[in-house]
């Protein structure tokens, strides 16, 4: 068996020790005679797995008891509706910042439930940057302010947390959760699909400040109600137990690596190495303003697009997988989440240099 370097944007590579543990446990967890995925979610064994995962995440991210940590389903796309339906009771509008494809999806779904104020957009700059704080035309009466700290497709990442006064700040942290230290207390609500930095697809983490609960719209499905999930420890019905268990193993692994501080240092080095290689050559390009380049998702183009297929084929031969850019933008994209080791980035850079020498 030879493990490849997998640059997929999501579902993404998982840490090898996590997969090895899951493989060892698969048919018989700790000698109990059954798989984690066969356990009752109400058994002592699974409840201890679930609680441990939450506890470790709270430690890693510095999450206080003011916040509920919810293990939900449906991905970030389900949250696009869940958020307005939970937070807008008593408010008739919400503020949204538009920085690309994922912002737009969040805005489109929110518009089905409320008036949306697009308080800043960098579309005129072709989404090559995030707005500055001074550009945000915030509305004090908004139910919340939503933004997308990292645009997975565009490869754009804020280098600051917006100051939105007393209005709750809501953030899609799918790609950047656990990737560096973040001050959770600045947020009213954070959500993240698991399939990038947390675990397998099918699990969605929601951190919500408890004072924001109870602002629900009447049409909210019970299963999407944060206060119901909180009251039942995310077990109002059967949760995705195996994904939850894997998330716990990933949290343990992050802790063993030194936590989010160490992750941030590693991710900075990886990103600098890869952007450095792109910038040092006219053969490759990345259009994002350096200040706003994502540490997690690195899109790049070949000056000669006719070489794209040859680049991808050669990469795959060397075990560098899933480098094709999103179908909506083309080009290349290397997603280098926590689980991507520096050796993977080095292998990619070495291949890029070789390919350029052969073809330039």
Minimum distance, C-beta of residue 308 to a copy of itself, in the bound complex (Å): 17
**What distances in angstroms separate CA 72 from CA 37, 68, 233, one per listed residue?**
17, 12, 10
Distance CA 95, CA 43 (A): 42
- Is residue 286 within 8 A of residue 278, CB to CB? The reply is yes
* 172 annotated active-site: yes
Q: Where are the beta strands (DSSP E) in the chain?
A: 5-6, 67-72, 93-98, 115-121, 145-147, 150-151, 156-157, 169-172, 189-193, 204-209, 284-285, 297-302, 320-321, 332-335
Region of residue 92 (left: phi > 0; alpha: psi -120 to 50; beta: else): alpha
Is residue 92 near a copy of itself by the rule CB under 8 A? no
Kindly identify the residues of this chain, within the stretch 105-144, that bind a copy of itself according to CB under 8 A.
109, 112-113
- Is residue 277 within 8 A of residue 353, CB to CB? The reply is yes
* 102 annotated active-site: yes
Between 225 and 356, name the residue whose CB sits nearer to a copy of itself.
225
Q: Name which position in 13, 106, 110, 169 contacts a copy of itself (CB under 8 A).
A: 13
Helix, strand or coil, per DSSP, at residue 45:
helix
Kindly identify the residues of this chain, within the stretch 203-242, that bind a copy of itself according to CB under 8 A.
203, 218-219, 221-224, 236-242
Query: Residue 185 contacts by C-beta under 8 Å, 6 or more apart in sequence?
Result: 64, 66
Minimum distance, C-beta of residue 346 to a copy of itself, in the bound complex (Å): 17
Minimum distance, C-beta of residue 166 to a copy of itself, in the bound complex (Å): 28
Q: Choose the catalytic residue: 29, 95, 104, 172.
A: 172
- Residues annotated within the binding site for pyridoxal 5'-phosphate are 76-77, 102, 152, 172, 195, 237-238
Binding site for a copy of itself (CB under 8 A): 1-4, 6, 8-14, 16, 19-20, 22-23, 26-28, 31-35, 37-43, 73-78, 80-82, 85, 109, 112-113, 193, 195, 200-203, 218-219, 221-224, 236-243, 246, 319, 321-322, 327
């Amino acid at each position: 068996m030879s493990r490849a370097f997998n640059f997929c944007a999501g579902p993404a590579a998982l840490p090898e020790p996590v997969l090895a543990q899951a493989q060892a446990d698969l048919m018989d967890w700790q000698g109990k005679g059954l798989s984690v995925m066969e356990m009752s979610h109400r058994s002592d064994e699974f409840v201890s797995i679930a609680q441990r995962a939450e506890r470790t995440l709270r430690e890693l991210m510095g999450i206080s008891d003011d916040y509920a940590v919810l293990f939900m389903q449906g991905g970030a796309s389900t949250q696009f509706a869940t958020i307005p339906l939970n937070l807008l009771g008593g408010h008739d509008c919400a503020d949204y910042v538009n920085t690309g494809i994922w912002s737009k999806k969040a805005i489109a779904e929110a518009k089905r439930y409320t008036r949306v104020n697009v308080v800043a957009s960098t579309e005129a700059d072709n989404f090559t940057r995030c707005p500055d704080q001074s550009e945000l035309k915030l509305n004090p009466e908004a139910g919340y302010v939503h933004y997308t700290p990292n645009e997975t497709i565009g490869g754009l990442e804020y280098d600051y947390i917006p100051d939105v006064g007393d209005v709750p700040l809501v953030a899609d942290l799918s790609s950047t959760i656990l990737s560096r230290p973040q001050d959770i207390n600045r947020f009213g609500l954070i959500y993240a699909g698991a399939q990038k930095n947390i675990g397998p697809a099918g699990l969605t983490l929601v951190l919500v400040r408890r004072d924001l609960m109870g602002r629900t719209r009447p049409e909210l499905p019970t299963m999407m109600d944060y206060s119901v999930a909180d009251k039942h420890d995310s077990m109002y019905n059967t949760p995705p137990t195996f994904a939850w268990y894997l998330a716990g193993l990933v949290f343990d692994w992050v802790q063993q690596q030194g936590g989010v501080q160490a992750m941030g240092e590693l991710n900075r080095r990886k990103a600098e190495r890869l952007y450095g290689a792109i910038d040092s050559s006219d053969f490759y390009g990345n259009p994002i303003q350096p200040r706003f380049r994502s540490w997690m998702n690195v899109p790049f183009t070949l000056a000669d697009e006719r070489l794209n297929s040859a680049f991808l084929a050669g990469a795959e031969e060397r075990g560098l997988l899933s480098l094709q850019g999103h179908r909506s933008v083309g080009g290349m994209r290397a997603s280098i989440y926590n689980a991507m080791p520096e050796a993977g980035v080095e292998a990619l850079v070495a291949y890029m240099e070789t390919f350029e020498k052969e073809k330039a």
